[in-house]
Amino acid sequence: EIVLTQSPATLSLSPGERATLSCRASQSVSSYLAWYQQKPGQAPRLLIYDASNRATGIPGRLSGSGSGTDFTLTISSLEPEDFAVYYCQQRSSWPYTFGQGTKLEIK
């Protein structure tokens, strides 16, 4: 099973700042990595798939990068609606696995 480790566990930033979230895989997942956002009491929402492709309706301030074992989700300028929990997920091999999440909170 591929283990995904996200860092940091919690990120405290202010609106307008740049956020950088990391996801490291225990073995190469090529570019088969997605990012999801989850707000309290809601289902997750797809943000990025295959490392760098934005899902439909996702604003340009969100971007993904990386390949192999190291990936990054960047939010260039935080908006109030960006504060949430973010999960990475690999689809390189079954079982598909998620990282433990990074909570992005308002400083």
Partner 1 sequence: EVQLLESGGGLIQPGGSLRLSCATSGFTFGTYAMSWVRQAPGKGLEWVSGISGSGIGDYTYYVDSVKGRFTISRDISKNTLFLQMNSLRVEDTAVYYCAKGAAALGVIDYWGQGTLVTVSS
Instruction: Report if residue 32 touches partner 1, rule: CB under 8 A.
Output: yes
Instruction: Give 58 or 76: the residue with its C-beta nearer to partner 1.
Output: 58
Q: 87 with 38: CB under 8 angstroms?
A: yes
3-state secondary structure of 82: helix
| CA 71/CA 64 separation, integer angstroms | 7
Q: Give the x-and-dash track for 63-82 against partner 1 (CB under 8 A).
A: --------------------
Inter-CA distances, 12 with 1, 23, 85, 90, 103, Å: 31, 17, 12, 26, 8
Among 17-25, 47-55, 67-75, 76-84, the segment contacting partner 1 (CB under 8 A): 47-55
Among 28, 55, 61, 76, binds partner 1 (CB under 8 A): 55
Instruction: Report if residue 43 touches partner 1, rule: CB under 8 A.
Output: yes
